[in-house]
Amino acid sequence: MKLGSVMQQCSADEETIQCKKARVTIARVMVHSQQQEWIKVKALNLWIDTFLPKFSPAIFTPDQLIKMKHWVR
Q: Is the pTM of this model over 0.85?
A: no
Q: Is 6 exposed, middle or buried (0-12, 13-18, 19+ CB in 10 A)?
A: exposed
Read off the pLDDT of residues 31-56 as tens digits, 9 standing for 90 and up.
888 888 888 888 888 888 888 777 77
- How far CA 35 is from CA of 2, 31, 38, 42, in Å, comes to 50, 10, 8, 11
Q: What integer pLDDT is reported at residue 68 of this predicted model?
A: 81
